Amino acid sequence: MDNGLMFQGFEWYIPDDGNYYKDLKKKLVDLKRIGVTSVWLPPVCKATGTNDTGYGIYDLYDLGEFDQKGSVRTKYGTREELLDLIQAIHEEGMHVYADVVLNHKAGADFEEEFEAVKVDSEDRTKDIEEPRKIRAWTGFDFPGRNGKYSDFTWNYNHFSGVDYDSLTGETGIFRILGENKGWNWGVSHDNGNFDYLMFSDIDHAHPDVVEELIRWVDWFIEELSLDGIRFDAVKHIDSAFLDDFTNHIKEKMGEEFYLLGEYWEHNLANKTKFMKSTKFSMDLFDVGLHFNMYNASKDAGNYDLRTLFEDTITKENPPMSVTFVDNHDSEPGQSLESFLEPWFKEIAYGIILLRKDGYPCIFYGDYYGIGGQYMIEPHKERIDTLALIRKNHAYGEQEDYFTEKDLIGWVRHGNEDHPGKCAVVISTLEKKSISMFMGDDQSGRVFKDFTGNCEDLVTVNEEGYGEFPAEAGSISVWLEEGIVLG
């Protein structure tokens, strides 16, 4: 779709009060107004408790329906409230993407004993002790659900590794031994082999596991009337499994069903290899662009804005790129913390919302703010302006003016349905301007900065050029004076 816009509908510190689904439902009209076309929901399946954001996944079939892990509801609400929210999103004409956690399981119902070997955490291909019997939490029989939807139960044979031996009280990474057992190899080679991430690591080469996950995803998509899936932690999941799994989904649901992966990695070559190994079946978040913007926000004096798109999916494979400023993993206090400085947030959203390439995603924590101990102020008004410009005025071919280390700009030239011009300028160190070509037919037209950061008006000269400024440490977005944003 033209100028699609995703909204990540959660952040890590959402209150554990069970009201999330009801609260988000109240926000949908406003999100639709600014041009949001899809909503990415948090993990909706039962996790280790209501204080779990959802990534400590317990039961894939429990959507807030069964009394398990201390409650019927998840952190976010009940199954009925979830279905009500999804219906409301669809009624607003937006798509629904669910966050799916298939890398591991947590909160097992009972312990088991089995053979395992401890490996080097820095190189998981190296055994550092002799094999021995350990005891770990790997048994899942979901007594609260009592076989509804699926009678499949999980045991240690369905996992590759764990991180605790209760026989000795020892922590570490233990590879489970047995016939046809071992780490999956179609994963990141960080730490030798990055199959293991946390909890009980699912063995995606086990035929019973593969069969059960395919059966589950068919049920899950139909149960929730989903339009897409965001896969968590794909660098830790066997690419051969993901290739078959996503191919099954596409064959069943059609090519229009949206798939997106989270591959948290700086190295573009590794992400490209992953995309090839999964036959480009899913888009990826552009983590490289996130870190480029993060570094720019941290070091305005030295960062060269002309390199913003180096080593990014957006530059190398734009149709596969989902651009984002921050997310639940990068926010303060999280393991991947890399939160952009406040002064750069508006600039960063201008970069992802007003350029031609990438499928941009607005982060809940940037839009509504973050509560709890970190107390991050919202950027809603600034993002609203940029999103409305994207929705109504940022179309057509793009002409870049990456002129100086601390000064870049571009022009969107419009299309048949949206013929207006849009000029963008970013300056990090001081007030500067760029002469940009708006078109021979634009001579004499007056342009205004709709962010309100720059009070100047710019008149296009008889050659079709305008001298567009930006204040120090800011972005300016220029549309013809008198235009209504929407």
Tens of pLDDT along 257-271?
Answer: 999 999 999 899 999
**Is 424 within a domain?**
yes
Give the separation between CA 303 and CA 314, rounded to whole angstroms. Answer: 19
- What was the pLDDT predicted at 486? 81
pLDDT value for 251: 97
The last residue of a domain, from among 154, 177, 202: 202
Residues 310 and 364 occupy one common structural domain: yes
257 and 348: one domain? yes
User: Are 93 and 224 members of one domain?
Assistant: yes
Mark whether 366 and 427 lie in a shared domain: no
418 C-beta neighbours (distance < 10 Å), count: 17
Q: Is 2 annotated as catalytic?
A: no
84 and 17: one domain? yes
pLDDT of residue 105: 98
Given 361, 378, 393, the domain boundary residue is: 393
Residue 284 placed within a domain: yes
Q: What percent of the chain has pLDDT over 70?
A: 100
Q: What is the mean pLDDT of residues 177-183?
A: 94
Task: Say yes or no: 380 and 418 in one domain.
Answer: no
* Whether residue 184 sits in one domain with residue 114: yes
What is the domain-level CATH number for residue 331?
A: 3.20.20.80
| Structure-token pair, residue 29 | 């009209």
Q: Residue holding tokens 């798109």? A: 309
Residues tagged in the binding site annotation: 103, 195, 201, 203, 236, 301, 406
The answer as to whether 217 is a domain residue is yes
What residues does 40 pair with on adjacent strands? Answer: 8, 97
Q: Are residues 342 and 224 in the same domain?
A: yes
Q: Are residues 410 and 437 in the same domain?
A: yes
**Beta bridge partner(s), residue 479:** 448
Is residue 2 predicted with pLDDT exceeding 90? no
pLDDT at 15 over 80: yes
Q: Are 127 and 119 in contact (CB under 8 A)?
A: yes
373 pLDDT more than 90: no
Catalytic annotation present for 251: no
Structure tokens at 222: 């139909």
CATH number at residue 184: 2.40.30.140
Q: Which residue has the tokens 């949001």?
A: 36
For residue 285, name the pLDDT band (cuts at 50, 70, 90).
very high
From the list 262, 283, 286, 449, the catalytic residue is 262
Is pLDDT above 80 for 176?
yes
* Any domain includes 212: yes
Q: What is the mean pLDDT of residues 321-331?
A: 97
Same domain, 264 and 411: no
DSSP 195-224: ---SSEEE-TT-HHHHHHHHHHHHHHHHHH
CATH number at residue 422: 2.60.40.1180
Residue 469 bridge partners (DSSP)? 433
Question: What is the reported pLDDT for 283?
Answer: 98
Q: How confident is the model at residue 341 (pLDDT cuts 50, 70, 90)?
A: very high
Are residues 232 and 333 both part of a single domain? yes
Return the SS3 of 455.
coil
In-domain check, residue 486:
no
> Quick one: which H or E segment has residue 384?
helix 380-393
Same domain, 413 and 426: yes
Query: Comparing C-alpha atoms, which of 193, 123, 428 is closest to residue 296?
Result: 428
Look up residue 193 and give its two tokens.
């082999």
Q: Is residue 324 part of a domain?
A: yes
For the chain, the domain total comes to 3
pLDDT given at position 157: 98
| Assigned domain for 36 exists | yes
Annotated binding site for Ca(2+): 103, 195, 201, 203, 236, 301, 406
What mean pLDDT is reported for the chain? 97
Last residue of a domain, one of 362, 393, 424: 393
Residue 1 domain flag: no
Q: How confident is the model at residue 301 (pLDDT cuts 50, 70, 90)?
A: confident
Per-residue pLDDT of 186-219, as tens digits, reads: 999 999 999 999 999 999 999 999 999 999 999 9
| pLDDT value of residue 125 | 97
Choose, from 11, 81, 232, 331, the residue flagged as catalytic. 232
* Model confidence at 305: pLDDT above 80: yes
**For position 465, what pLDDT does the model report?**
98
Enclosing domain of residue 441: 398-480
| The pLDDT of residue 360 is above 80 | yes
The pLDDT-based confidence of 300 (bands split at 50, 70, 90) is: confident
Express each pLDDT in 35-68 by its tens digit: 999 999 999 999 999 999 999 999 999 999 999 9
